[in-house]
Amino acid sequence: MSEHATSLPDPQICETARLSRDARFDGLFFTAVSSTGIYCRSVCPAPAPKRENVSYFANAAAAEAAGYRPCLRCRPELAPGNTGWQRGDHVVARALKLIETGALEDQSLEDLAARLAIGTRQLRRLFVERVGAPPISVHTTRRLLFAKQLLTETAMPVTEVALASGFNSLRRFNAAFLQANRIAPRELRRHPRAVTGAALELRLGYRPPYDFDALLAFLRGRALPGVELVDEHSYSRVFGPSDAPGWLRLSAWPDGEHALRLQLHCPQPSQLLGVVTKLRRMFDLDANPQAIADTFQHDAVLGPLIARRPGLRLPGGWDGFEIAVRAILGQQISVAAARTLATRIVQRYGEALPVVAVPGLERLFPTPAALAHADLREIGLTTARTATVQGVAQALLDGRVDFRAEQSLDTFVARWVALPGIGEWTAHYIAMRALSEPDAFPAADLILRREATTSAVPLTTKALTQRAETWRPWRAYAVMHLWRGATDAAPIPKEKRSKPTRASK
């Protein structure tokens, strides 16, 4: 039995997980069977193969590069991703982030290597050594697995499936799919599970435990009327462009399956993979809760919190600029007050949709160009806050700041705090929500400084920063646990005496 690539769990752990079908390891490794030529998820319901026929691979691309094809029963395309590959500033981690955001869809491998300041040959070598497959294979596997899910779960025409998975040529798509799956695309369409013309319905898998209710509660308190709808069971949103808008709804998959149910109307097939990728990041579906728990479980403060809510995730944001504006609005005021100001901005400067497909979803959040010169004092912002929003909008238009996936946390924070009105708290909060940066840490936050100690006296920002060193690389998850812990512990005020309180944004 062999193992491949550096992030593969210990082979004995893999063996135990596959025999027990442990969902906590779903997507962290794949089981390849030499006697069948097929690779499977750790949760595959098929009878367990003999140990001598099994090899373990850390990712689907490595398994396919070794000549294995995906299982039609457990469907590797439904496995959660493994963000462990993308942590840190190593060139491979940065390259994987770029590939996930579509860098190789419209750029060559040479362009990707140049963006990383490395030679093409060296980039290939590093990928083969660390990932088990070259960059192009990683990119192609990602596209083909998404195509396989669309072919299996929807009634989309094969031509649209090819476009949605990043193939501009149907001939090339058919050839690549046949080579990887040993089956033609149309052979998966014999029993379509959707009605042509209806919204797509897809499964978005995750590793348990997953506290979807807590994530919805966080988003519900910040939901923008007209742009989002969040109730106790689902999240809905409209997205642009305005001349061909789409909408989506996420809810728990019925029958207890470890997945969310995505209902999606996306007029442009070429946007589909990007939308699904963004939602996986926004709802933190690829997190490894066991790794996070291992870091926190012996901490005096975080240990009890993670035991109480082991599935707490990091809520991301749909759009970086939207998160940045809301972070600025939330400086030193309550969540409710910041939401009120953001709602006014949407109503005044957000673009109204000509046709409303879902009642309550009728506007798009304004673009940087729309706010770069907007006088937001008219809707209640201070002169200083108005200048900061305008400055951020202009900086994004000028390219002085951005939300590029490959930049390090330190680089991102340094560029943002150079803008007037943006401090460390705001920059880290934006990184946490817009980039889903797992180690972002707004240490100046009052609630964090209060909740991170058993003393009645809050920690100083410096003391909290030092205290949090043992929480790396998951400090953003510590933030969520401390914020949630403060909410759970807060007494419910009497209705007549309730007042807005200053809270984390």
Please report the pLDDT score of residue 332 as a whole number: 86
Please report the pLDDT score of residue 490 as a whole number: 65
Please report the pLDDT score of residue 500 as a whole number: 33
Please report the pLDDT score of residue 256 as a whole number: 83
Residue type, 127: F
Please report the pLDDT score of residue 198 as a whole number: 73
Q: Which stretches in the chain have pLDDT values below 50?
A: 1-5, 492-505
Alpha carbon 118 to chain centroid distance? 27
pTM for this predicted structure: 0.93
3-state DSSP assignment of residue 69: strand
Digit-coded pLDDT (tens) for 91-137: 999 999 999 999 999 899 999 999 999 999 999 999 999 999 999 99
d(Cα 475, Cα 481) in Å, to the nearest integer?
A: 10
Tokens of 256: 């207890």
Please report the pLDDT score of residue 426 as a whole number: 97
Domains and CATH numbers, the chain: 11-81 (3.40.10.10), 85-188 (1.10.10.60)
- 228 has which bridge partners? 237
> Which residues neighbour 248 within 8 Å (Cβ) at sequence distance 6 or greater?
236, 237, 239, 262, 263, 264, 265, 266, 275, 279
Label residues 385-410 b or e (16+ Cβ within 10 Å = b): bbebbbbbbbbbeeeebebebbbebe
Please report the pLDDT score of residue 84 as a whole number: 77
Which amino acids are annotated catalytic? 40, 445
Please report the pLDDT score of residue 44 as a whole number: 97
Please report the pLDDT score of residue 6 as a whole number: 52
